[in-house]
Amino acid sequence: MSEQLLGDFRSYLAARGHTPGTQHQYAAVAAHFLAWLGEQPPDRQQIDAPAVQVFLYEHLPACRCPPPNPKHRKSVRAALNRLLVMGGETRLRPRSPPSSPSIEAMVARFDTYLRDVCGLADATRWYRRRYVRAFLAGQFGDGPVTVGRIAPDALIRFVTEQAHLQRPGSVGVLAYSLRSFLRFLQFEGELPADLTGAVPTPPHWSLAPLPPSLSAAELARLWGAFDRATALGRRDYAMARCLADLGLRCQEVAALRLDDIDWRTGVLHLRPGKSRQAAQLPLPAPTGAALADYLRHGRPTTPSRALFVQHRAPVGEVAAKTTVRGAIRRAFARAGLPWSGTHILRHTAAARMVQGGSSLKLVADVLRHRSIDTTAIYAKVDLPNLSRVALPWPGRSL
């Protein structure tokens, strides 16, 4: 069974463009994993993400298996991710540092509450778990979690310490995560007193800084940084147009599918994402032209229905949001621009709309903001209109 599976795995890797060296290395990892799996109890011999996590974080550190048995965790993780994907399993998510069983049990209960009671998305829950796990580890170490020992001074101290290590926005998420955890404990009847007020609210003036965006000249430099004579350049350019013309989020670009484009009406259909609402956006001519050029002359032949796919091994599989970020980061570097990041292109899309005369309500609709207050920051980039409402300096004429 293992030999047949290893043969299928090698064929799978070869078909997706992995080099012979990578095929050999990944097959050695898979053989090591399968040999270890065969020694587990019959009810634990399933090839799935939990088994891989145990192999990575429990077996590898103490491994005494005979060679060849690659032990570099990053390489082993990459190989076993491919094995999971081949078998139709979900790839591994980043793992937070391990905590005590008592802390992990509490975090698991908290996560269930966030999912079933609060209805939060997986990405949001990941951050909540991360910060609560860090707080509990600092409070209880390897010992049991005793809810009665959670005191206001411990909450204040944790937030204050983190405020010196993280940006204001991240500290705000941390503080909100702690309040969410305290509400969970109250919901469960384990915390009689309401301690949410003890969690400090870090100062964060969201409308203070101007949102970073590119000028027309800088945007032209960025477009020139893509080599549209190559398939990869066409893909990366099309992704950048989606970000800068439509204001899409990075994960929204990665999630686009072929069926999302209505070429007859010139409409792009967005599936529910961060805002949990589907949306329809008009497809500007430059964006449509970039997408059409990529689909005709750049996209590899693949059964995947994803719009943007990998051009390097594994060829033809859906491009992850890290692929989008990497493509934009490299383009910024080639263009010699001092900034980097997909969010700058989203800000650029908003700034161009405002400076072109669009109302904040229209900008909010295009960016799919749930509150107009989130969009209000872009009023600061409309300098001509702001100059009309500016009061003259007293004592002198302008």
For the CA atoms of 277, 283, 289, 290, the dihedral, rounded to the nearest 10 degrees, stands at -30
SS3 assignment, position 318: strand
Cis status, amide bond into 212, omega within 30 of 0: no
Question: 12: Cβ–Cβ under 8 A, 6 or more apart, which residues?
Answer: 82, 86
| 57 is an active site residue | no
- Cα–Cα distance, 334 to 140 (Å, whole number): 48
Active site residue 343: yes
Catalytic pick among 149, 271, 274, 312: 274
Going by C-beta distance under 8 Å and a sequence separation of 6 or more, which residues neighbour residue 58? Answer: none
The answer to whether 39 touches 51, Cβ cutoff 8 Å, is no
As a dihedral over the C-alpha atoms of residue 38, residue 43, residue 49, residue 53, rounded to 10 degrees, the angle is: -70
The Cα–Cα gap between 53 and 77 comes to 9
How would DSSP label each residue in 145-202? Answer: --GGG--HHHHHHHHHHHHTTS-HHHHHHHHHHHHHHHHHHHHTT---S--GGGS---
Please name the residues in contact with 324: beta carbons below 8 A apart, sequence gap of 6 or more. 239, 243, 250, 253, 254, 308, 342
Q: Which of 16, 249, 311, 352 is catalytic?
A: 249
Q: Which two tokens stand for residue 287?
A: 């964006």
Selected catalytic residue, list 32, 234, 346, 347: 346
Is residue 367 a contact partner of residue 346, using CB atoms and an 8 Å limit? yes
Q: Would you call 380 a catalytic residue per the annotation? A: no
Calpha distance 82→385 (Å, rounded): 54
Helix (H) or strand (E) holding 300: none
Q: Is 26 a catalytic residue?
A: no
The residues carrying an active-site annotation are: 249, 274, 343, 346, 369, 378
